Copies of this chain bind each other. A is one copy, B any other.
Amino acid sequence: MDGLVVVLVRPRNPLNIGAAARAMSNFGVHRLRLVNPYAVAFREARSAVGATALLKDAQEFKTLAEAVADCSLVIGTTAVRNRALQHPLKRLDDGVADAVRNAGRTAILFGSEKIGLTNEDFSHCHWLVHIPTVEGHISMNLGQAVAVCLYELARSSSLREHATEKVQAATAGDIEQIHASGYVKPGNDAVAEKKVRRLMLRLNLRGMDAKVFLGMVRQIVWKLRQKG
């Protein structure tokens, strides 16, 4: 659980931020990151009686890309099942069992209370997980969803403590570098940007592969520019 990062994307409610931090303490996870939190909520959560050290040390980021830049595996959580998801969607226990094999830093993302993670957020994820809730009541409280996901991670970690096939996967930062190398100008074409990011993540590159790949892309872009 040491390499795990919990990322709350646009949380609104200080009680939920506090509850997420409490669940993290319970399961031995220490890195909390917030992307664009509602400022008042973050301040209130931090100054609450009994706020944990990990809540006080929580880091704030403007964009999700920055928040997961050092992570080699990014998992999104979603209540949605029938939306036309362009991402692999796994049941929590399957998604997490696969995750605990990752030797690098793993991020698990939770969206805002009202709308969860967006498609843009999903494009930063290797895969999505859903908690097996019942039809008609699929949406969990944020603090409870964090607790359930961290429980499943703790459970799976202890089951696979001696798993051997850990690989050093490429971090999201490596991938963003490839992706920002000129093939797609970031911000210029959001759809293309998401597509490329998704493709990169699906390839499931190892750290060294990503560097080689980046070198190739740079050469191609350089050649193309020479011609143009």
Contacts and interface: CB of A to CB of B under 8 A. Distances in A.
B143 A25 contact: no
A154 B26 CA distance: 21
Number of copies of this kind of chain in the complex: 2
A140 to B, nearest CB: 5
Contacts of A154: 132-133
Given A141-B147, A143-B144, A145-B147, 18 more contacts: A19-B141, A26-B138, A26-B144, A27-B133, A28-B134, A92-B151, A92-B155, A93-B155, A131-B151, A132-B151, A132-B155, A132-B158, A133-B154, A140-B147, A144-B144, A147-B147, A147-B148, A148-B151
A25 B137 contact: yes
B140 A143 contact: no
A81 B158 CA distance: 17
A92 to B, nearest CB: 8
